[in-house]
Chains A and B, each alone.
Chain A
Amino acid sequence: GENVEQHPSTLSVQEGDSAVIKCTYSDSASNYFPWYKQELGKGPQLIIDIRSNVGEKKDQRIAVTLNKTAKHFSLHITETQPEDSAVYFCAASRGYGGSQGNLIFGKGTKLSVKP
């Protein structure tokens, strides 16, 4: 089955710096890659996603890149702010429809943004 590896497990940056989190996946049939942000005591919240027919997607300070050949995808946060501090999870799935849409999550990255 699918396996998603996520690195680093912890990341500390200064406010205003950029942060990059990387994930690799094993199932070449995976075609949907969302990123979730989880704050303490809350459930994960979708922040951005990308499908395999796109190489890059951007939403304000957040961007995701996908390399299908290498089977890895990355989250980029620019101009980090203290409120970006949280645990970030990447996930992969084969797409939608029944169990094909089931998400396999990475182990998470704890991002700390120091003022």
Chain B
Amino acid sequence: EAGVAQSPRYKIIEKRQSVAFWCNPISGHATLYWYQQILGQGPKLLIQFQNNGVVDDSQLPKDRFSAERLKGVDSTLKIQPAKLEDSAVYLCASSLGSREGRTSSYNEQFFGPGTRLTVL
């Protein structure tokens, strides 16, 4: 089974520029997550989608970050304009779903390799 795909793997931009990341989840996975992982820290959830609807975006800095999952499959995360503190690895994860009472395997999150963003 193919895993979660992300591109690009690396991106270097200058502050105030824009950048976009792409994620293709595991086939059939309804739930998609974007995380930000700053060096030396654990991943922090930015946004969660269930199919093409947003479940939780409370941690997303909406003045500069946006994300969409128009057809309920692929997703893009955009930063505009970027700041120095946005330098991090952006991880995408997917799961079959996110539902109470289901087995662990149903809710298990599978992570992609991430995109390492450097803002100069």
Interface residues of A (CB under 8 A from B): 4, 6, 36, 41-46, 49, 51, 89, 91, 95-103, 105-108
- A-B CB contacts (within 8 Å), total count: 64
Q: Which of B40, B42, B43, B108 contacts A46 (CB 8 A)?
A: B108
Interface residues of B (CB under 8 A from A): 4, 40-45, 48, 50, 55-56, 58, 91, 93, 98-102, 104, 107-114
| Across-interface contacts of A105 in B (CB, < 8 A) | 41-44
Q: How many Å lie between the Cα of A42 and that of B114 in the bound state?
A: 7
- Give 21 pairs: A residue, B residue, CB < 8 Å, sorted on A: A43-B4, A43-B113, A44-B43, A49-B104, A96-B99, A96-B102, A97-B98, A97-B99, A98-B50, A98-B56, A99-B58, A100-B100, A102-B45, A102-B56, A105-B41, A105-B42, A105-B43, A106-B42, A107-B40, A107-B42, A108-B40
Q: Which of B40, B55, B114 contacts A43 (CB 8 A)?
A: B114
Report yes or no: A108 in contact with B42, Cβ–Cβ below 8 A. Answer: yes
Please give me the residue from chain B that is nearest to A46 by CB atom. Answer: B108
Nearest chain B CB to A16's CB is how many angstroms away? 28
Report yes or no: A103 in contact with B55, Cβ–Cβ below 8 A. Answer: no
Please give me the residue from chain B that is nearest to A44 by CB atom. Answer: B111
| Across-interface contacts of A44 in B (CB, < 8 A) | 43, 91, 111
Please give me the residue from chain A that is nearest to B92 by CB atom. Answer: A43
Instruction: Using known A-B contacts A49-B104, A105-B42, determine if residue A43 contacts B98 with beta carbons closer than 8 Å.
Output: no
Please give me the residue from chain A that is nearest to B58 by CB atom. Answer: A99
Instruction: Using known A-B contacts A89-B42, A108-B40, determine if residue A97 contacts B100 with beta carbons closer than 8 Å.
Output: yes
Q: How many Å lie between the Cα of A96 and that of B107 in the bound state?
A: 7
Q: Which of A49, A91, A98, A107 contacts B98 (CB 8 A)?
A: A98
Instruction: Using known A-B contacts A96-B107, A97-B99, determine if residue A41 contacts B56 with beta carbons closer than 8 Å.
Output: no
